[in-house]
Amino acid sequence: MGQPAIEEAHLTSLTAATAARSSASSEHSLVVEDLRVHYDTPEGVIKAVDGVSLALKPGERLALVGESGSGKSTLAMALMRLTKAPGRIVAGHIYLGGKDITLLEEPEMRQLRLNEIALVPQGAMNSLNPVMRVKHQIIDGILDHVADRKQTPDSHELEERVNRLLARVGLSPEVGRMFPHELSGGMKQRVAMAIAISLSPRVIVADEPTSALDVVVQRQIMQTLGRLQQGLDAAVILIGHDMGLVAQFANRVGVMYAGKLVELGPVQQIFTEPLHPYTKLLIESLPNLEEKKKFIGIPGLPPTLLRLPSGCVFHPRCPSFIKGTCETVAPHYQEVRPERETSCHLYAGVRA
Amino acid sequence: MTALLELRNVSKLFGGGFFSGRPPLHALDGITFSIPEDRPTITAIAGESGSGKTTLARILLGIATPSAGQVLYRGKDVARISGAERKRFRLEVQPIFQDPFESYNPFYKVDHVLTTPARNFKIGKSKAERRSRIEEALHAVGLQPEETLGRFPHQLSGGQRQRVMVARALLLRPRILLADEPVSMVDASLRATILDSVYTLNRTHGISVIYITHDLTTAYQVSDNIIVLYRGSVAEAGSVEQVIKQPKHPYTQLLVQSIPRPDPRKLWGDVPARGDAEALGEAVGCKFADRCPFVMDACRSAVPPLHHIDPHRVASCFLYRDSKVVAEQDIAGVFAPRADAARTGPVRA
């Protein structure tokens, strides 16, 4: 009898902590606190996500940008609790509607996926089952999440739901009877979106949802995603490296570098008045259609995550490098102005 | 004007054999243009997937043969040249491909892609001279030879691997560089550096560049002139200042309006567009008719010819039927001379 009591006590304290947390952030759909995801490799530990904190309100669109290797996709997978070995979440909390999903057992997490948090994957061509008709792939997710077996919808009702979902992503009911290979890239991505919204999640994670598509289709897909998100009042995290898409879609932008969030702020301000030197270089390097500019890249190379530079990880590439400070002390990530957060010694004395 | 490389009414058909029961797919449909010999140019070839841009690249490199029409290099049919002339063509027309990883053999050091062609094409007289030419080429694209040579491909970043490919092209001093989506798999911060090396090859080493891309923004930044392909045919062609900044063909307009501008103040509007190119079958008349917001009866019955609508622009659209038709002529004839306006640097805050 003693053993369960201890477990129960432990659980109660956890629940209490979670409840306290959720009251503090009840207006948020998703809160990430000091999340750390590491990969154990023979050469050493790679800190792919190294202490990221952020919060999303319902209806908000946050874009996470960064070069390859910055940890943005690892973060996306961690939010879904789909981190695969050798990767693991080593520390931090992810509160989804007040519940810390880092503490959940897999069966419970499985119920939350699609219901509460859904993924629109990168390259929908590889995420659909090639030997299964589209409608069965949509039905699969719905049936898997029926809480009470007695309330399993009948086939007529399911057919209706599939047709309604297809209509919402701009596809005709005939598509339901087709196989993935009969669809174009854009149509497959729409099917992936239909699956993602099938149970009205409160958070949608879109991992480079249009990376292999043509510009016209890309615009249509992103506009459809925007409409769906507004209809559900869901929060969206868009993972990407295309600053154009980010400018078109997001309300807020988070910039990642070497596993850390280095800047976060409203989209307009990030593009017109970036604070962190890395964000500045990133914005300057974008080609535009207004005038022919000099080609300006970011000097140097992204760091190897196995051997990170001392102090600020960006200091070897930074044009505003402060000698004696940047190479020795890692800057704090802090709010430097209302709604603006960054980690840079240039703003060390500035507090909101 | 003599042409260095010339395409005469080139078409390429896929499938459609007697037993297939399907009409053949026109991957390319009567393309005519040329690269002049007397001055280095940068020409972009742009289009979505299925536009035929990769087929065109393969034909230009002599890897694929056209189903109809001819590709001439220095006036000789590429399909028929052999021996020394073929070797000269192989030396003078160099490719850079999209995936900077697939161009390497992972078992060899990166030196291999530089030393092998240098030896085969007899660049330099001695090993030492070849080595110094290789180092010179690496410097020219912004790489440090000591950090690059002696390494395996996987030890370099994607951007570095692609720059080694640009260095390889420079080493061989080709006349034409054919770059097929050279930056689409490279991070944004490194794109500028690679495009700058390609641009420098043209401006300081006199190499003509054919830049094949789906990205109109970099096409505008890099090139002087552009050919916009739609399902194997030329939709619009001419100077980038005209075609990209003030597009006249409804297809180019749709493309330009769909570009995600990296500026939250210039948001996408609601652009009318139906379907995507892949989902549509072969059509009679204008290939864009099914997606065109300005479609007329004429578009359904005949293929619009190329109309010469501005001094430096042609477009294949019946909206401009009052303009002169450029029938079967080289569209490079309307291309604008290269503009060497000073490029302005960014304003640092």
Q: What is the Cα Rg of chain A in Å?
A: 22
What is the nearest CA distance from B157 to chain A, expressed in angstroms?
8
Amino acid at A188: K
The rounded distance, in Å, linking the Cα atoms of B231 and B49 is: 9
The rounded distance, in Å, linking the Cα atoms of A152 and B285 is: 52
Give contacts of A 263-292 with B, CB under 8 A. Answer: 267-268, 271, 273, 280-289, 291-292
- CA nearest to A213 within chain B: B49
CA A257 to chain centre: 15
**pLDDT at res. A352:** 43
B327 falls in which pLDDT band (50, 70, 90)?
Answer: low
Residue B59 corresponds to which tokens in the numbers above?
């034909």
Q: Which of B49, B197, B263, B347 to mutate to test the interface with A (most CBs of A within 10 A)?
A: B263
Q: Which contiguous run of DSSP H or E holds residue A92?
A: strand A87-96
Asked if B215 contacts B184 with a C-beta cutoff of 8 angstroms, the reply is yes
- CA nearest to A304 within chain B: B157
**pLDDT at res. B106:** 86
What's the pLDDT tens digit per position in B33-54? 999 988 899 999 998 888 888 8
Q: Which of A239, A249, A265, A288 is nearest to A335 (CA)?
A: A265
Query: Pairing relation of β-strands B313-316 and B233-239?
Result: antiparallel
Q: Mean pLDDT throughout B130-142? A: 88
Q: What is the Cα Rg of chain B in Å?
A: 21
Q: Mean pLDDT throughout B291-311? A: 91
Whether A292 and B221 lie within 8 Å, measured CB to CB:
yes
Residue B197 corresponds to which tokens in the numbers above?
């090396």
Whether B192 and A271 lie within 8 Å, measured CB to CB:
no
Residue A232 reports pLDDT greater than 60: yes
**pLDDT at res. B328:** 63
What's the pLDDT tens digit per position in B137-181? 888 887 888 888 988 988 887 778 888 988 998 899 899 999 998
Residue A13 reports pLDDT greater than 50: no
The answer to ipTM > 0.95 is no
For A245, the closest of B157, B260, B263 (CB atoms) is B260
What's the pLDDT tens digit per position in B211-269? 999 999 999 999 999 999 999 999 999 999 999 999 999 999 999 999 999 999 988 87
**pLDDT at res. B200:** 87
List Cα–Cα distances, B264 to A246, A248, A251, B331, in angstroms.
8, 6, 9, 37
- Write down the domain spans for chain B: 247-337
Using CB atoms within 10 A of its CB, is residue B337 exposed (0-12), middle (13-18) or buried (19+)?
exposed
Residue B1 reports pLDDT greater than 60: no
